[in-house]
């Protein structure tokens, strides 16, 4: 590993740090990948195998101080058995780099895997670099970070969603005297002992946290829609259907829908046990929040100490706002083989958006984005 912890390549173009720290210098490359998670590393791998030179032709800017993407921030109880699934990156199996024991924490194992992956393929990841804004100047993209300024002919954005938690607006939320937390704030169920927790959301994460918290304290579960549970195994046909539905939306410029709404929620032994304990008694969404809890339209109230919003995330794309790639409805019209290319500007690819917002989807999309962008820019 390099002696400088901020660099994850053994040859960071000699004086790259001096160039970045010199505010008068704009470091120019052909392609900048924004984000060092699964989607970003997959894209970098494919650029590498297409013959592009690290630090010269392409560069990865990662916000985190170390490898691991958003996985390093996940709650400790999320293990390799409770996580939905972690797919191998191209060219290196997960089990080749880390212990895949059932109780290994995902927040530990996945960062170890990503770090080993970066090192194996000598990927040009520069960190920590928080991208503040991307704009266009003289036919190139100007990428401004908290550390310096970069210039590129093409962009592969792989920032995912972890940095943009979504909490819906409800009347009276600012009057609530208890705690309001989001999924990304969750650490352990023990923190809620002795408190009544209202868990909001019908996704897989919501149910995992509901199950854990209900073992140490009382809970109320509310969702906007009736959750759809799946008793049969998830098949490849189910996967193709889910991808096709999300792809149809983004190719029409609509905001991507929830994958769970298509695939349903699998019955796991843990969820079956929670059901048997009477935990999965879902209530419809409340209408307002008051000082001591939540209230429905008919006047029914439920006192609460904590409202845990397991309401998902939105794509972290605010830094691309000056490029005006969104439609009036908030969606982005996508094109390309796997719907990674921004139709308004083919020099921009979004990996980890829409159909590629999963670990396996990010792998395939990273390859497609790399090939299409390299071809469009005529780099090989």
DSSP 331-369: ---EESTTS-EETT-TTEEESSSGGG-SHHHHHHHHHHH
Give the fold, CATH level 3, of 16-163+313-376. Answer: FAD/NAD(P)-binding domain (3.50.50)
Phi, psi of 345 (to 5 degrees): -155, 95
In this structure, the number of other CB atoms found within 10 A of the CB of residue 50 comes to 17
Residues 63, 65: Cα–Cα separation, whole Å:
7
Phi, psi of 25 (to 5 degrees): -105, 135
Structure tokens at 68: 């691991």
Q: Quick: pLDDT tens for 347-374.
A: 999 998 988 776 667 888 999 999 999 9
Q: List the CATH code of the domain at 181-309.
A: 3.50.50.60
What pLDDT does 311 receive?
95
In this structure, the number of other CB atoms found within 10 A of the CB of residue 351 comes to 33
Residues 335, 328: Cα–Cα separation, whole Å:
18
207 touches 183 (CB < 8 A): no
CATH 3.50.50.60 maps onto the chain at 16-163+313-376, 181-309
DSSP reduced 3-state for 328: coil
HSE (side-chain half, CA atoms, 13 Å) at 9: 25
CA dist 6 → 65, 132, 151, 163, 291 (Å): 7, 18, 20, 20, 46
The one-digit pLDDT tens for each residue of the chain (380 residues) are 233 333 334 445 445 655 555 555 789 999 999 999 999 999 999 999 999 999 999 999 999 999 989 888 887 777 776 655 667 899 998 888 887 765 788 888 889 999 999 999 999 999 999 999 999 999 999 999 998 999 999 999 999 888 899 999 999 999 999 999 999 999 999 999 999 999 999 988 899 999 999 999 999 999 999 888 887 766 667 767 777 888 889 999 999 876 666 667 888 888 999 999 999 999 999 999 999 999 999 999 999 999 999 999 999 999 999 999 999 999 999 999 999 999 999 999 999 898 877 666 788 899 999 999 999 999 97
Entry pTM:
0.86
Environment class of 126 (CB within 10 Å of its CB; exposed 0-12, middle 13-18, buried 19+)? buried
The 8-class DSSP code of residue 195 comes to S
Residues 24, 257: Cα–Cα separation, whole Å:
43
Taking only Cα atoms into account, the Rg of the chain, rounded to an integer number of angstroms, comes to 22
- Sign (positive/negative) of CA torsion 169, 172, 174, 180? negative
59 touches 124 (CB < 8 A): yes
Q: At what angle do helices 269-276 and 204-214 cross, to 10 degrees?
A: 50
Environment class of 10 (CB within 10 Å of its CB; exposed 0-12, middle 13-18, buried 19+)? exposed
The 8-class DSSP code of residue 149 comes to E
Environment class of 70 (CB within 10 Å of its CB; exposed 0-12, middle 13-18, buried 19+)? buried
Q: Quick: pLDDT tens for 206-253.
A: 999 999 999 999 999 999 998 888 877 666 677 677 778 888 899 999
- Cα 10 from chain centroid (whole Å): 27
**Between vectors from CA 180 to CA 175 and to CA 183, what angle results, nearest 5°?**
155
Structure tokens at 98: 């880390």
User: Which residues pair with residue 137 across a beta bridge?
Assistant: 140
The candidate with the shortest Cα–Cα distance to 349, out of 31, 64, 27, is 31
Cis omega before residue 275 (within 30°)? no
């Amino acid at each position: 590993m390099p002696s400088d912890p901020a660099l994850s390549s053994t040859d960071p173009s000699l004086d790259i740090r001096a160039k970045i720290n010199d505010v008068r210098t704009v470091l120019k490359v052909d392609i900048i990948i924004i984000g060092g998670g699964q989607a970003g590393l997959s894209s970098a791998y494919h650029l590498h195998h297409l013959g592009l030179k690290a630090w010269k032709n392409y560069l990865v800017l990662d916000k985190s101080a170390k490898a691991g993407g958003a996985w390093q921030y996940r709650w400790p109880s999320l293990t390799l058995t409770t996580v939905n699934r972690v797919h191998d990156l191209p060219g290196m199996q997960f089990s080749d780099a880390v212990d895949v024991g059932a109780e290994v924490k995902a927040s530990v194992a996945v960062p170890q895997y990503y770090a080993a992956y970066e090192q194996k393929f000598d990927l040009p990841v520069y960190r920590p670099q928080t991208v503040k804004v991307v704009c266009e100047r003289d036919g190139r993209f100007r990428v401004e970070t908290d550390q310096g300024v970069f210039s590129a002919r093409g962009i592969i954005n792989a920032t995912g969603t972890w940095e943009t938690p979504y909490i819906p607006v409800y009347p009276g939320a600012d009057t609530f005297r208890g705690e309001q937390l989001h999924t990304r704030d969750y650490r352990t169920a023990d923190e809620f002992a002795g408190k009544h927790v209202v868990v909001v959301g019908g996704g897989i994460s919501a149910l995992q946290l509901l199950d854990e918290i209900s073992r140490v304290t009382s809970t109320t579960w509310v969702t906007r829609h009736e959750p759809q549970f799946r008793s049969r195994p998830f098949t490849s046909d189910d996967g193709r259907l889910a991808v096709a539905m999300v792809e149809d939306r983004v190719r029409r410029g609509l905001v991507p829908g929830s994958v769970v709404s298509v695939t349903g929620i699998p019955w796991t032994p843990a969820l079956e046990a929670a059901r048997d304990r009477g935990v999965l008694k879902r209530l419809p969404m409340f209408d307002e929040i008051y000082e001591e809890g939540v209230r429905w339209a008919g006047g029914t109230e439920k006192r609460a100490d904590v409202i845990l919003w397991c309401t998902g995330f939105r794509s972290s794309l605010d830094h691309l706002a000056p490029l005006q790639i969104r439609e009036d409805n908030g969606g982005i019209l996508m094109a390309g083989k796997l719907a990674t290319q921004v139709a308004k500007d083919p020099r921009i690819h979004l990996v980890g958006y829409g159909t590629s917002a999963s670990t396996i989807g990010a792998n395939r999309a990273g390859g497609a984005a790399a090939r299409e962008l390299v071809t469009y820019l005529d780099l090989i």
